[in-house]
Amino acid sequence: MEKYILVTGVAGFIGSAVVEKLLSKGKKVIGIDNLNSYYDQKLKNDRLKNIEKISSNSNCNWKFEKIELEDSSKLKNIFKIYNPDIVINLAAQAGVRFSIDNPHSYIQSNLVGFGNILESCKEFRVKNLIYASSSSVYGGNTKMPFEEDDAVDHPKSLYAATKRSNELMAHSYSHLFDMPATGLRFFTVYGPWGRPDMAPMIFANAIFNRKPLKIYNFGKMLRDFTFIDDVVEAIVKCCYKPATVNEHFNFTNPTTSNSFAPHQIFNVGNSNPIELTKFIDLLEEFIGIKAIKVFENIQPGDVVATAANTEKLENWINFRPKVSIEVGLKIFVEWYKKYYCIV
């Protein structure tokens, strides 16, 4: 009998999309989220309502529990009741800039919470752990595109530091307890149901409402925007191909992305970065309104450019992103109009 898949952060942007995909495949899913107030809780609840609608239409096995990862006893009780064999950890305190003024929430959620996930996975002998990392771990690197074996020792934000810490924590558990774990470094994910604190939603909101749009670093930012459907495909495919030991690991010249432990790290990006100004130009075109642009200096914690080399992931799961920025943005704008009732 097929077991449950546990997905954390299910009211979030990526988490809700992953659950929808799994349910469409007839999988049994237990989802957890703390529904915090970092951004609009209505959007989070509407994502959950959308999942409920999908599950009721397809008679899928879908369960939701509101808990925090920091509550180790409640988390372990979820594992005890549902006994998942695959865990997809997408819950985290997100946001680079928010971490500057609110470090405690990142330490609790991203470090303590993730530690509790690892402990539960160990205790209940989970067969595969997929967890979210971030392109922000590349920090001050200027060599493009970013490769998984590049040095990631110079984070530019606490958020990035917690994500790199997650990679190290997962590796240690993989080694000590023979627990397969895969870390996915996401590159600027966008699309329907996106996060309001991320550039696509911020830009669309400003343009539609004809408000001044702050463009940092005078628009000289390069981002590897990755459409949500491509990200979901990568996550789901990794669910069914657990990380393995690298039998040829070079102990005298070790690499970051694979190991003597069953632990691997992959970039998940579009591999086709564009300038922020080009991104805004496309948004203006699809929305049909010109932005009121206000150019400003770069903000603390921001990186100037991100670009993903995704060859390693392609070789591992035969994955290559399919959605171009033009197609993805058009879909995003159509969803935005529908969700916010814009005629």
Q: How many residues does the chain have?
A: 343
Is residue 60 within 8 Å of residue 29, measured between CB atoms?
yes
Please identify which of the residues 39, 106, 131, 159 carries the catalytic annotation: 159
What type of residue sits at position 24?
S
Tokens of 118: 């690892």
Element of type H or E holding 314: helix 311-317
What are the backbone angles phi and psi of residue 184, rounded to the nearest 5°? -115, 120
Q: Which of 131, 239, 111, 115 is nearest to 173 (CA)?
A: 115
Tokens of 173: 């558990």
Give, in order, the Cα–Cα distances in Å from 253 to each of 104, 143, 248, 256: 36, 20, 11, 10
Cite the DSSP H helix spans in the chain.
Answer: 13-24, 41-58, 72-82, 98-101, 103-106, 114-123, 158-177, 199-208, 228-239, 276-287, 311-317, 325-339
Tokens of 312: 């390693």
Establish whether 106 is a catalytic residue: no
Is residue 282 within 8 Å of residue 329, measured between CB atoms?
yes
Torsion of CA 254, 260, 262, 266, to 10 degrees: 20
Tokens of 142: 């200027």
Give the bridge partners for 89, in sequence order: 8, 131
Collapsing DSSP states into helix, strand and coil, what is residue 334? helix
Tokens of 266: 């992959």
Mode of pairing for the β-strands spanning 86-89 and 263-268: unpaired
CA atoms within 13 A on the CB side of 239: 24
Q: Which residues are catalytic?
A: 159
